[in-house]
Chains A and B, each alone.
Chain A
Amino acid sequence: MTKRLILGNRSGQYGLWVAKNGKDAMSSNPADFVFQMGYRAARPFAKGTLSAMPRTYFASAGVAIGATYTFTFNHGLGYAPLFFASVYPRAVGGVGTLGVVNAGAYYYDTVGALADAASLNIYVNVKHWSSSGGFNPPLSLSIRPVSWTIYREPA
């Protein structure tokens, strides 16, 4: 039977090693382990989801239609952290189709997400294109959820 767990001395090193089922905890292959001492586990610092945001949300936030809205979370970690951020249906950096309401295509452009030592910012640009031109999303237009997770780990 393979040894799957070592707590204590392993070839002169003290610690904990937990091997995968069928693997030996003395293995030198890091892929054989569920956990071993040498590798860090970055843990979440904060996470959140901003649900559907109708046009009125942007209006109340004082954002001109067609302009970029910035979602900011002040983490205060003192370093730019590892993070994930997405806006359904596209991850940061693309144009997602939001749907068609009557005639014309309505969409938003997720400009991107960017972190610094103080905050995480997610930039979303709301647009509406019609044959007459210009931006004018209807009140029914909603941005799909924006979600993000920040880890206690420098990026």
Chain B
Amino acid sequence: MTKRVILGRLPSGNYGLLISKPGYDVTTNPVDNERLLFSSDWTETVPIFQSGSFTSSSSPTTITFPTLGFVPFVLFYKTNGYLDINGGGTRVYGTSFINLSAGFSISIADGSFTFPAASGHNISYKVLLVRAK
């Protein structure tokens, strides 16, 4: 069985807590941070409860997730978008925040959120284990 948790002396010689993703031996030295779920050396982490993506349509899109007992923060990114810069004369493409001032109104509840009717937006979302309300 793969060793996934170390609490105490780490392979590096320091003391702390390491938890690896399934299939990765946490005693590997040096440890690959990309294959860890948690390290006590990490600070300012963002706890992600659920993530996913969808393409919006002409009807509102509702995504569900297990209830948390509170309304969580949810991050939304548009992955097929562009920004108009220089007064709209130049477009740059990439992944950006959903710009709520552009007319999007996303309702978020404990267990679901609803994206408005707006066709053709590729949306990536992260439900955080952080209370918004």
Q: Does A65 contact B (CB under 8 A)?
A: no
Is A93 touching B99 in the complex (CB atoms < 8 A)? yes
Is A112 touching B97 in the complex (CB atoms < 8 A)? yes
By DSSP majority rule, is chain B's interface helix, strand, loop, or mixed?
strand
Q: Which residues of A, 14-47, contact B by the 8 Å Cβ criterion?
A: 14-16, 29-32, 35, 37, 39-44
How many A-B contacts if CB must be within 8 Å?
A: 126
What are some 7 contacts across the A-B interface (CB < 8 A)? A35-B38, A44-B45, A92-B97, A115-B94, A115-B96, A125-B86, A154-B124
Q: How far is the CB of B24 from chain A (nearest CB, A)?
A: 13
Q: Which of B4, B5, B39, B68 contacts A30 (CB 8 A)?
A: B68
Q: Does A53 contact B (CB under 8 A)?
A: no
Q: Does B83 contact A (CB under 8 A)?
A: yes
By DSSP majority rule, is chain A's interface helix, strand, loop, or mixed?
strand
Interface size on B, residues (CB 8 A): 48
Q: Which of B5, B34, B126 contacts A82 (CB 8 A)?
A: B126
Q: Which of A85, A112, A154, A155 contacts B99 (CB 8 A)?
A: A112
Mask, B14-56, CB within 8 Å of A = 1, is 0001010000000000000110011100111111110000000
